[in-house]
Amino acid sequence: MKIGVIGGGQLGRMLALAGTPLGQQFAFLDPAPDACAQALGEHIRADYGDRDHLRQLADEVDLVTFEFESVPAETVAFLSQFVPVYPSAEALRIARDRWFEKSMFQDLGVPTPEFADIQSQDNLDAAVKRIGLPAVLKTRTLGYDGKGQKVLRHPEDVDGAFAELGSVPCILEGFVPFTGEVSLIAVRGRDGQTCCYPLVHNSHEQGILRLSVASTNHPLQSLAEDYASRVLDKLNYVGVLAFEFFEVDGGLKANEIAPRVHNSGHWTIEGAECSQFENHLRAIAGLPLGSTAKVGESAMINFIGSVPPVEQVTALADCHLHHYGKAFKAGRKVGHATLRCSDSAVLQARIDEVMQLIDKG
C-alpha cells in the first residue's frame, strides 16, 4: 500500500518510519525543497494547491492523509474525487477553524471556555463586555505554537487588537484558570473501533510545547475518553485525533483538537505498545488498531531551535533521540527525546538531565 501525505515535515517522517515495517510506501507533497520526510519516500515538490501535482499524487497512492490541519479545503475536495482521504474533508473543516471547533464542542456537551466569533473590532468590544478580561483573541484559522493569538489582560490591550491580528476572522476565548494542560491522543478505525492513549500532561515554554509526560491512572481519563468519543463519532473520524484540554476545578474544558498525529503523542514511539504513528496508519489503512497501553513510564522533551550534540543525548540513560534532520532555527521544533523508565522517580531524574543538556546549549 502506498500512502500520500500532504506535508513532508517531521510528522510525515515519523509516519513513514512507522509505516515502512508494515510494508507501506510513502509519497509526500510539500513545496519545501528540504522537507525532512523526503529521506523516507518520494517527494513531490509542489504547492498545496497545485492541481497537476495533486492529481499525480492521487494517481500514485492508495489513500491520502495530512500532516497538518491548515490544508486548503479545495485541496482536500479535489483529492477526494480521486482517492480516499483520511481524515475527511469535514473533520478538517471543523478542526482548522476555532469557531467551528468550539461550536461543535458546545453542541456535543463537551465543556469549553466561553467564546465569541469576532469579525470586527466592534464584535471584539462587545464580546469583551460579555466574557470579561483576561481573554485570548485568536485567529480562527492558521494559528499554531502560540502564533496568531494575543492575550488581552487590560482594557487598553483590547483597542486595535483585531487589526493587530490582521483583521481576519477571530475568536475571543475566556481565560480559564486552569491547573494543568492535558492532551488525549485518540484513534478511530474505519470500522469505528476507538482506542485512547493515557492522558498526557503538557508544559509549554513561550507558547511551544516543551514537555509531555504520560500519566498513569489519571482520574480524568474516562471523562476525557467520553468527550473524545462524542467528537470522533460525530465526525465519523478515521485516524488519530488529538484533544487538548484544560484541567479546571477537577474537570476538563476542551481547548482544541488536531486532526492528525500530535507532538504530545511522540512519546508513544517507545512508550506505548503501538505508537500514534503506527495507529494512525493502521486506522486509515483499514487495519486493526494496536494497543495503546504504556510500556514503562514515559516523557517527551522537545528540542526547539537546535538539537544538543548527538553524542551527549545518546549518552543519557533511558533516552531515545529523534532528530528530524531539519535546519536549526530559533523557535523551530527540530527534534525530541523520549524517556522511558521503570518508574516515575527515575523518569523525573532523567527529565532533569535532558533539561540540563538543553540549558547548556
**Residue ranges binding a second copy (CB under 8 A):** 13, 17, 20-23, 25, 39-41, 273, 282, 286-288, 290-291, 295-296, 307, 310-311, 314-315, 317-318, 320-323, 325, 335, 340
Tell which residue, 328, 331, 351, has the closest CA to residue 339. 351
- Residue 101 annotated as binding site: no
Tell which residue, 60, 59, 10, has the closest CA to residue 39. 10
Smallest distance, a second copy to C-beta of residue 167, A: 42
Smallest distance, a second copy to C-beta of residue 34, A: 12
HSE (side-chain half, CA atoms, 13 Å) at 121: 12
- Residue 173 annotated as binding site: yes
* 280 or 282: CB nearest a second copy: 282
* 200 or 285: CB nearest a second copy: 285
HSE (side-chain half, CA atoms, 13 Å) at 50: 13
Q: Are 256 and 101 in contact (CB under 8 A)?
A: yes
Q: How far apart are the C-alpha atoms of 29 and 66, rounded to whole Å?
A: 10
- Residue 176 annotated as binding site: yes
Tell which residue, 180, 97, 167, 178, has the closest CA to residue 134. 178
* 133 or 287: CB nearest a second copy: 287
Q: How far apart are the C-alpha atoms of 264 and 20, rounded to whole Å?
A: 22
* 115 or 303: CB nearest a second copy: 303
- Residue 98 annotated as binding site: yes
- Residue 146 annotated as binding site: yes
* 112 or 268: CB nearest a second copy: 268
Smallest distance, a second copy to C-beta of residue 21, A: 5
The set of cell numbers assigned to 275 is: 505508537
Smallest distance, a second copy to C-beta of residue 305, A: 15
Q: How far apart are the C-alpha atoms of 147 and 332, rounded to whole Å?
A: 12
The neighbour count for residue 138, using CB atoms within 10 Å, is: 24
Q: Are 258 and 241 in contact (CB under 8 A)?
A: yes
Q: Are 125 and 152 in contact (CB under 8 A)?
A: no
- Residue 255 annotated as binding site: yes
- Residue 234 annotated as binding site: no
- Residue 244 annotated as binding site: no
Smallest distance, a second copy to C-beta of residue 20, A: 6
Smallest distance, a second copy to C-beta of residue 37, A: 10
Residue type present at position 298: S
* 94 or 214: CB nearest a second copy: 214
Binding residues for ATP: 98, 138, 143-149, 173-176, 181, 204, 255-256
